[in-house]
Amino acid sequence: MDIKALVSQMTLEEKAGLCSGADFWHTKAVERLGVPASMVSDGPHGLRKQDDKVDHLGVNDSIRAVCFPAACATAASFDRAMVTRMGEAIGDACQHERLSVVLGPAVNIKRSPLCGRNFEYFSEDPYLAGEMAASFIHGVQSRNVGTSIKHFAANSQEHRRMSSSAEIDERTLREIYLPAFETAVKREQPWTVMCSYNRLNGVFASEHPWLLTELLRKEWGFEGYVMSDWGAVADRVAGLKAGLDLEMPSSGGYNDRKIVEAVQNGTLDEAVVDRAAERILNIVFRYTGHAKPDTPWDKEAQHALAADIAAECMVLLKNEGGILPLRKEDEIAFIGEFAEKPRFQGGGSSHINCFKTTSALEAAQGLHIRYARGYDAAKDMASDEMIAEAVEAARAAKVAVVFAGLPDVYESESYDRSHMRMPDCQNRLIEAVAAANPNTVVVLHNGSPVEMPWIDSVKGVLEAYLGGQAVGTATVRVLFGDMNPCGRLPESFPKKLSDNPSYLFYGGEGNVAEYREGIFVGYRYYDRKETELLFPFGFGLSYTDFCFFDLHLSAAEISDREALTATVKVKNTGSRPGKTVVQLYVGDKESSVFRPVRELKGFEKVELQPGEEKEVSFTLDKRAFAYWNTQLHDWHVETGEFAIEVGYSSRDIAETAVVKVNSTVRVPRHYDINSIFMDILDDPRGREIIAPLLKVMQEGFSQGQSEQSDAANEAITDAMNLAMLRYMPLRTLLSFAGEKADPAALEAILKQLNED
Q: Which residues are catalytic?
A: 229
The phi, psi pair for 415, rounded to 5°, reads: -150, 165
Smallest gap from residue 526 Cβ to ligand BGC (A): 29
Question: Do residues 296 and 50 make contact, with C-beta atoms less than 8 angstroms apart?
Answer: no
- The footprint of ligand BGC on residues 104-143 (CB under 6 A) is none
H/E segment holding residue 371: strand 369-372
DSSP 8-class letter at 69: P
Question: Do residues 139 and 91 make contact, with C-beta atoms less than 8 angstroms apart?
Answer: yes
Smallest gap from residue 100 Cβ to ligand BGC (A): 14
Amino acid present at 676 = I
Q: What are the start-end ranges of the E strands in 589-639? A: 599-608, 613-620, 627-629, 634-636
- The footprint of ligand BGC on residues 229-268 (CB under 6 A) is 229-230
Question: Do residues 99 and 146 make contact, with C-beta atoms less than 8 angstroms apart?
Answer: no
Smallest gap from residue 349 Cβ to ligand BGC (A): 3
Nearer to ligand BGC, 192 or 426 (CB): 192
How many residues appear in the chain? Answer: 756
Q: Is the dihedral of CA 565, 566, 572, 578 positive or negative?
A: negative
Q: Quick check: 49 binds ligand BGC (CB under 6 A)? A: no
Contact string 426-465 vs ligand BGC (x = CB under 6 A): ----------------------------------------
- The footprint of ligand BGC on residues 309-368 (CB under 6 A) is 349
Query: Rounded CA gap, 73 and 82, in Å?
Result: 12
Smallest gap from residue 694 Cβ to ligand BGC (A): 60
Q: Quick check: 46 binds ligand BGC (CB under 6 A)? A: no
| Residue 735: partners with Cβ closer than 8 Å, 6 or more residues away | none
Query: Rounded CA gap, 10 and 5, in Å?
Result: 9
CA atoms within 13 A on the CB side of 427: 12
Q: Does 670 sit behind a cis peptide bond, omega within 30 degrees of 0 on the bond before it?
A: no
Answer for which of 17, 21, 43, 347 binds ligand BGC (CB under 6 A) is 43
- Using CB atoms within 10 A of its CB, is residue 739 exposed (0-12), middle (13-18) or buried (19+)? exposed
Question: Do residues 730 and 746 make contact, with C-beta atoms less than 8 angstroms apart?
Answer: yes
Nearer to ligand BGC, 75 or 397 (CB): 75
Smallest gap from residue 635 Cβ to ligand BGC (A): 30
Query: Rounded CA gap, 337 and 404, in Å?
Result: 8
| Residue 195: partners with Cβ closer than 8 Å, 6 or more residues away | 151, 152, 153, 205, 206, 208, 211, 212, 226, 227, 228, 229, 232, 244
Q: Quick check: 42 binds ligand BGC (CB under 6 A)? A: yes
Which string of DSSP letters, residue by residue, matches 584-596? EEEEESS-SS---
Nearer to ligand BGC, 230 or 585 (CB): 230
Smallest gap from residue 205 Cβ to ligand BGC (A): 12
Q: Quick check: 103 binds ligand BGC (CB under 6 A)? A: yes
Query: Rounded CA gap, 119 and 94, in Å?
Result: 23
Smallest gap from residue 412 Cβ to ligand BGC (A): 11
Question: Do residues 405 and 338 make contact, with C-beta atoms less than 8 angstroms apart?
Answer: yes
Smallest gap from residue 122 Cβ to ligand BGC (A): 14
The phi, psi pair for 661, rounded to 5°, reads: -110, 130
Smallest gap from residue 24 Cβ to ligand BGC (A): 8
Q: Does 596 sit behind a cis peptide bond, omega within 30 degrees of 0 on the bond before it?
A: no
End-to-end CA distance of the chain: 52
Q: Quick check: 204 binds ligand BGC (CB under 6 A)? A: no
Nearer to ligand BGC, 216 or 401 (CB): 216
Number of residues that bind ligand BGC (CB under 6 A): 8
Answer for which of 49, 150, 160, 459 binds ligand BGC (CB under 6 A) is 150
Buried b or exposed e, range 193-222, using 16+ CB within 10 angstroms = bbbbbbbbeebbbbbbeebbbebbbeebeb
Smallest gap from residue 552 Cβ to ligand BGC (A): 44
Q: Quick check: 56 binds ligand BGC (CB under 6 A)? A: yes
Nearer to ligand BGC, 42 or 560 (CB): 42
- The footprint of ligand BGC on residues 280-309 (CB under 6 A) is none
Q: Where does this chain bind ligand BGC (CB under 6 A)?
A: 42-43, 56, 103, 150, 229-230, 349
